[in-house]
Amino acid sequence: MIEEELVKIHDMILSYFLTYKREYPEFTFLTRMKNNNNRLDKGYLFQGNKDYIFVPLYRIGDAYNKTKTIGFVYTEKKQYIEIVFNKIQGATDLDKTFHEELVEYLKQMDKFEVKQKK
């Protein structure tokens, strides 16, 4: 994907979230915080690189993978929900159960491809 197109998608996602937040003020989201490889300067507002965008949907991060544990992934060819939970620091049993139940729920739905990393 051309970098300019990818940056436009980052902008579109951010714009959608800000619009949604006006209607639902309790909604929160996380943008990229570090400027590794100058990605933030280039307009990569969310996690990812030139091949994908990862938009975190859940607050807890995976200590091993250094990413949030549940997110929406956008690539040029497909979009899916990714669930990653290798080593979740500070996670409660309820958090772990939530992850496991979410995986099982999404597997039952034909519309979702569940890419699970454990």
Residue 76 vs residues 62, 66, 109: alpha-carbon distances, Å? 25, 23, 23
Q: What share of the chain is helix, strand, coil (3-state, %, to 5)?
A: 35, 25, 40
Q: How far apart are CA 40 and CA 86, in angstroms?
A: 26
Per-residue tokens: 52: 């994908």
Domain ranges of the chain: 3-117
Q: How far apart are CA 96 and CA 62, in angstroms?
A: 12
DSSP-assigned beta bridge partners for residue 55: 72
8 A C-beta contact, residue 46 and residue 61: no
pTM flag (> 0.75)? no
Please list the pLDDT of the chain residue by residue as tens digits (118 residues): 688 888 999 999 999 999 998 998 888 788 888 898 899 999 999 988 888 888 887 666 555 555 666 778 888 888 877 777 666 677 778 777 877 787 777 777 766 665 555 5
- Of the candidates 75, 73, 77, 78, the one whose C-alpha atom is nearest the C-alpha of residue 117 is 73
25: Cα separation from own chain's centroid: 20
